Amino acid sequence: MLIRKPDDIEPSEITPERDYVNRRAFLKMAGGVGALAAGSALAPRLLRSALVADGPPEDTPNTWDQITSYNNYYEFGTDKADPKANAQQLRTSPWSVEVAGLCRKPGHYALDDLFRSVTRVDRVYRLRCVEAWSMVVPWNGYVLGDVLRRLEPEPGAKYVQFTTLYDPQQMPGQRRPILQWPYVEGLRMDEAMHPLALLVTGLYGKPLPKQDGAPVRLVVPWKYGFKGIKAIVKIEFVEQQPTTTWMRAWPEAYGFYANVNPTVDHPQWTQSVERRIGEWRRRPTQMFNGYGDQVASLYAGMDLRKNF
């Protein structure tokens, strides 16, 4: 199981990519067939497979190739391989992030300035996609709450809203009305301040690849992957709950909270099991993606079937 205190994880403790590949070469090859099946968002409702592991095996980071080749990033296309093929033209330097809304330090910040005096961290997190596949990813970045505190939110700020770059010339997927562009996501302020939430700038100790959200993306490990907005250009402190992109596109399937909850199925498939990329057998999905000990208190008293 994943160590419950990510702050204790040193970069040297992350399984080297070459060792992972050698140890799981067979499972990777077998899992490639399943990856094609999992990639179809319009497939009929998935049945609960008989091939479900008795319990989750040890969490081992997925390989660099798996993490960078199998992505949801509709700004570059809807196929899992499209982001790697189409994102390389994106210009990620120089890059600035606009800070706006209910805070005392608004403005346009270069990334170095946005993260000034904030300690960089290395975290190994599970990533659970709403399409019922998952990965384990060694991220490098900054605790979101530490960054937000530097910007001095005002008392009226109840939510944080994030916006992705809008540039159809560089992002060919934005030339099609797949979603309402630009991509928008949000968190409640206490969620954003939780120490597990990250602004990520790297992967496996290297700069974050463009297909994975470079130069800066959000990672909230107890939520489904669509909350992990990529190529962030704006952070805004707001009083009202944002209407996020997937809420607007399909509110019956994608709620604001997006907490991993195996008891609330997607309209087209079950969320009770998942398939780890690189593995053949499915495994039971854990509530809050296995981070319940740390984050369940954020939702005390809430009906998480209604507030999904």
Query: For 54-68, how does the pLDDT look when each residue is reduced to its tens digit (9 = 90+)?
Result: 445 578 999 999 999
Mean pLDDT of the chain: 86
pLDDT at 57: 57
Q: Distance between CA 228 and CA 236 in Å, rounded?
A: 16
Q: Distance between CA 187 and CA 300 in Å, rounded?
A: 17
**This prediction's pTM:** 0.83
Q: Could you tell me the pLDDT band of residue 287, with boundaries at 50, 70 and 90?
A: very high
- Closest CA relative to residue 63, chosen from 235, 204, 185: 204
Q: What is the pLDDT of residues 113-159, one digit of tens each?
A: 999 999 999 999 999 999 999 999 999 999 999 999 999 999 999 99
- Please say if the pLDDT value at position 47 is more than 70: no
Q: Distance between CA 199 and CA 220 in Å, rounded?
A: 9
- Please say if the pLDDT value at position 14 is more than 90: no
pLDDT at 58: 73
Q: What is the pLDDT of residues 33-44, one digit of tens each?
A: 333 333 333 332
pLDDT at 10: 40
Alpha carbon 109 to chain centroid, angstroms = 23
Residues 28-32: what's their mean pLDDT? 35
- Please say if the pLDDT value at position 259 is more than 60: yes
> Percent of the chain, pLDDT > 90?
81
- Please say if the pLDDT value at position 20 is more than 90: no
Alpha carbon 246 to chain centroid, angstroms = 14
Q: Could you tell me the pLDDT band of residue 5, with boundaries at 50, 70 and 90?
A: very low
- At 54, the amino acid letter reads D
Domain ranges of the chain: 6-299
Is CATH 3.40.50.1450 the classification given to domain 6-299? no
Token readout for 94 is: 């120089």
pLDDT at 85: 98
Residues 271-300: what's their mean pLDDT? 97
Token readout for 130 is: 């709403």
Q: What 3-state DSSP class applies to 250?
A: coil
